[in-house]
Amino acid sequence: MSAAAIQRLRQALDRRAETGAPVLSFWWRDDDLEIPSLALAEMLTATEDSGIAPGLAAVSGAVKSEAISALDGTQARVMPHGWRHVNHEPAGAKKSEYGPRRAVEERLAEIDGACNRIAALAGTRALLVFTPPWNNIATDLLPHLHRSKAAGVSAYRMPGREPQSASRPRLDTHVDLIDWRGTRQGLSAERLVDLLVPWVKLASGTENPLDSAVGVLSHHLVTRPNDWSAWAPVWRVIASHSASRWVCPETALCMVDGDRIQ
């Protein structure tokens, strides 16, 4: 990647440090774990090399025990990623496994089933932050999440858009490493820095500051080996700069503001 891109990231972090703001935390989520694979191994190596403990969102009704075993020797955690990653919405609507077409009680029961299976399979690696497929969960369900076994909910937050309130803490992601609307491949390192810098600035500003960890979202199954190599300098800057750090998903969850609907 270009030295200029890395310099832009360092400068944004430098400016944050100059304000005297607390160290900016980053956390990592990777989606669609089902089976062990070379792609999974590459993601685990890439994150471990930068001291990152990733949260792996596993398709709860489909993930194999062998996939959990493949995490041995790593700091990875496992989160419930829907039940079967199937779409229940009509043609033309945004895909969702937890959209409004099914009854709230049916969806809550399915979330409980997902949490139960991940807890049973992953044991101490389990972190029951519910991660809806396609980052899409209907607003009518969010006020009822406290009635489920989910400890939190993780979706995707667009810049400049406040997330919907939920009755469990929101541990959202902010930077997606895949260009889903374009190439459907990994971002260039330069584009990655373009997306990271506004969150660094938001976290250090006085207007609408970000008071939670910045979430990085990956999808190991569609990431090429050269993407991991291209991104590595970015992760090393975050790990080494005095104004930033990587935290595990549990720590990131504890940092969430957690305004809840009672």
Question: What radius of gyration, in Å, describes the C-alpha atoms of the chain?
Answer: 18
C-alpha 245/C-alpha 235 separation (Å) is: 10
* Cα dihedral 146/152/155/158 (nearest 10): 90
Work out the mean pLDDT of the chain and round it to a whole number. 93
Using CB atoms within 10 Å of the CB of residue 149, give its burial: 0 to 12 exposed, 13 to 18 middle, 19+ buried: middle
CA 80 to chain centre: 12
pLDDT tens for 94-152 read 999 999 999 999 999 999 999 999 999 999 999 999 999 999 999 999 999 999 999 99
CA angle 45-252-31, nearest 5°?
A: 50
Structural domains of the chain sorted by starting position, each given as residue range(s) with its CATH number in brackets: 3-255 (3.20.20.370)
pLDDT tens for 182-228 read 999 999 999 999 999 999 987 655 445 566 899 999 999 999 999 99
C-alpha 58/C-alpha 60 separation (Å) is: 6
The pTM of this model reads 0.94
